[in-house]
Amino acid sequence: MDYHFNFSYIWRHFDRLWHGLILSLELAFVSILIGMVIGLVLALFYTDGNRWVRAVVTSYVEVIRNVPLLLLVYLVFYGVPSIGGFEYSATVSFIITLSVYSGAYLVEVFRAGLDAVPKGLLDAGKAIGLTPWQRLLHVRLPTMFRIVLPSLSNTYISLFKDTSIASVIAVPELTYGAQWINFNTFRIIEVYAIVTPMYLVTGYAILFALQRLERRFVVRR
Amino acid sequence: MAEPIVRIRNVEKSFGQNRVLRDVTLDIERGQTVSIIGASGSGKTTLLRCINLLETYDAGSIEVDGVEVGYRSTGNGRRRRRSETELAAIRADIGMVFQLFYLFPHLTARQNVMLGLVKVRGKSKAEATEIADHWLDRVGLADKKESLPAELSGGQQQRVGIARAVAMSPKVLLLDEITSALDPELVGEVLLVVKRLAEEGMTMIVVTHEMTFAREVGDRVVFMDDGLVLEDGPPDEVLLNPKHERLQSFLKRLNLAGIFAT
Amino acid sequence: MWAAIESLPFLVQGFLVTLQVSFLVVAISLVIGVVMGTGLVFGRWWLYWPVRLYSDFIRGIPVLVLIFFVYYGLPVLGLNLDNFWAAVAALTAFKVAHVVEIFRGAVQSIHHGQMEAGKAIGLTFWQRLTWIILPQAVRRFLPPWINAVTDAVKGSALVSLIGVVDLMLAVQQVIGRTYEPMPLYVTGAIIYFLINYSLSTVSRRLEVRFSYIRD
């Protein structure tokens, strides 16, 4: 092996990695927020809706979940503008893609969560005269959120890792930064020796932060 | 009098700081049906599970038909843990029926009973099928031999559990609260099977909450509390004339719950 | 639209490469993953910890990072793989971690009472493993594993980024010639969808069929 380690190249360009990491976290955060809205609305439609509504939601979920994220990214970034006649930035395009993508996974999470709300709680709500809308707001949703919090944290961490795909459409997140340094300095080993722990540590940090959140909200007997 | 088939001597067992068995000494004669009663945490289930070494024990000895279970004495008071093979052979002669049944879900009732016969007793498939069918008939499940556990009620599953244990021709049968997980209306069918086994001379150690069973079927009732055997005698004596204060309060609590019929 | 249909043969070639990559990744990761999973579940600490660390490490990084590192990094360390095998190696290394986790879940979700019932009738450890644990573990393993297979097929699309002409890259190359992105992306999506949807339907059916194995 004829390789001499030289980390100075990495430190010189470290701001690309650091800002890339921040951007990755932001991309994931915005996408999961939008995805949660999509997922929650569709889950409610599914649970409370008729056959046709359920079929529409299922189609959306099945299509998104069975197609590679990479293809979706290209489709939204290159494909949609070509038939729509408009343009948007790579970052916006990626956020749209990841939101739609996460929405499809979150529909499942929320649907299972809504199903897991004990029927007895709904009966109790009916018994004290709450309207369906009130039961939704005050009984079903709060209970569901406590149930799904662990799944949500797993989803957020997955999405954070999926932001690396944004690098293929030149969104300057962490993996793009790593590849930029790789192509411009040829310091492949060093850059990935730094970037890998960055992903790992951030992933675990998110996990611990969300676990602490879980402990505050989820009652354990 | 013949040698007791199960000899338990000064057995001690702790889970961490918790001393579950303090100094238990008990003899079971061949053909006896002994009920062990007591509150939760009294150590009765742990004692039962030590007999076939599903739980290890820290001190003392347990012998089944002259064979030390779990450990082999190496002289000067020492002991060595038995090998997996030795343990398996010893366990084959001890039958156990579990509170939660633990039937093998991927096997039919008949296959559940046959597994031990073929793999442990070395019977041919034909022989094993005959024996399994015989016992399934005896426990009243003649028409359920091909059913999977998921298709059976709790009482039916437990009866398969009993057939599985008894088909191995064990020297002693250990029954661990076998009706505690059953709906009340299913308890009777299981107790009937056990009663018939007792009448036919099977040696049984029954950990139970069913006082009527203990009274009607058992030859002996043993009361355990906090890791010790406090009373041991014929059912009518122990249950109707409790001497120990702890047993008196235990029975009183059960009486209040309406479980014990006088 | 016609361009898409005319280029179908080219897409089919790419599709075959996708199948090749997916098949290799799935098969190799299954074998290695089950072996490593056995070490994780049944082995002593010197088997447990390496597997645990490997699995947690791999699952903590994006698969794209792994692919780029294997492709650009290994030659530097002296190991020269062509892009096809670099891609297969990276994806396999990634999938192994998932197979290990699925295996662990399948075996550890079996109630300890099953082992106890096996002990009670006098079966030895290996007998309990073969006749009681493994039959149940396989039924718990298959549905999630088939989902992992669909993940492998979707992940295979990333090999296009290091120049392997799979379905994804074939689609892009055709777009490069015809300048009609949408019809081609949609065609590609349909093909991926058909494979994966069939697989996930099988997985769902198996899960229902094997539900008797769960308590």
Instruction: Summarize pLDDT for A89-130 with one digit per residue, the tens.
Output: 999 999 999 999 999 999 999 999 999 988 888 888 888 888
If phi > 0 it is left, if psi is from -120 to 50 it is alpha, else beta; for residue B57 that is beta
* Contact status of A180 with chain C (Cβ, < 8 Å): no
Between CA B179 and CA B162 the distance in angstroms is: 12
The partner residue sitting opposite A196, judged by closest CB among C65, C168, C200, is C65
ipTM: 0.91
Closest residue in chain C to residue B88, using alpha carbons only: C122
Q: Examine chains A and B and say if they touch (3+ CB pairs below 8 A).
A: no
Query: CB burial class (10 A; 0-12, 13-18, 19+) of residue C103?
Result: buried
Which residues on chain A are in Cβ contact (under 8 Å) with C146?
none
Instruction: Summarize pLDDT for C127-163 with one digit per residue, the tens.
Output: 999 999 999 999 999 999 999 999 999 999 999 999 9
Between CA C167 and CA A68 the distance in angstroms is: 11
Closest residue in chain B to residue C213, using alpha carbons only: B105
Tell me if C32 sits within 8 A of C20, measured CB to CB: no
pLDDT at C27 over 90: yes
Which residues on chain C are in Cβ contact (under 8 Å) with A71?
157, 168, 171, 185, 188-189, 192
Which residues on chain A are in Cβ contact (under 8 Å) with C153?
68
- The shares of helix, strand and coil residues in chain C, as percent rounded to the nearest 5, are 85, 0, 15
Instruction: Summarize pLDDT for B181-204 with one digit per residue, the tens.
Output: 999 899 999 999 999 999 999 999
- The domains of chain C are located at 2-213
- Domain containing B256 equals 1-93+206-262
Query: Domain C2-213 is classified in which CATH homologous superfamily?
Result: MetI-like (1.10.3720.10)
Q: Which residues contact A92 (CB under 8 A, 6 or more apart)?
A: none
**Number of domains comprising chain B:** 1
Closest residue in chain A to residue C181, using alpha carbons only: A79
Which residues on chain A are in Cβ contact (under 8 Å) with C196?
65-67
Between CA A91 and CA B203 the distance in angstroms is: 77
> Considering the domain boundaries, does residue B55 fall inside one?
yes
Which residues on chain C are in Cβ contact (under 8 Å) with B98?
113, 116-117, 120
pLDDT at A221 over 50: no
Closest residue in chain C to residue A64, using alpha carbons only: C193
Tens-of-pLDDT digits for all 262 residues of chain B? Answer: 568 999 999 999 999 999 999 999 999 999 999 999 998 888 999 999 999 999 999 988 999 998 888 777 766 666 778 888 888 999 999 999 999 999 999 999 999 999 999 999 999 999 999 999 999 999 999 999 999 999 999 999 999 999 999 999 999 999 999 999 999 899 999 999 999 999 999 999 999 988 888 888 889 999 999 999 999 999 988 888 888 898 988 888 877 655 555 4
Q: Which residues contact A134 (CB under 8 A, 6 or more apart)?
A: A125
What CATH code is carried by the domain that includes residue B257?
3.40.50.300
For B237-251, the DSSP string reads HHHHS--SHHHHHHH
Tell me if A4 sits within 8 A of A70, measured CB to CB: no
> Considering the domain boundaries, does residue B127 fall inside one?
no
The partner residue sitting opposite A189, judged by closest CB among C73, C150, C154, is C73
Report which residue type is found at A154: N
> Considering the domain boundaries, does residue B18 fall inside one?
yes
* Contact status of A175 with chain C (Cβ, < 8 Å): yes
**DSSP letter assigned to residue A130:** -
When the candidates are 2.60.40.10, 2.30.30.30, 1.10.3720.10, 3.30.43.10, the CATH number that belongs to A8-217 is 1.10.3720.10
Please list the alpha-helical segments (H only) found in A86-172.
90-115, 119-127, 132-135, 141-162
* Contact status of A158 with chain C (Cβ, < 8 Å): no
Between CA B100 and CA B102 the distance in angstroms is: 6
- The domains of chain A are located at 8-217
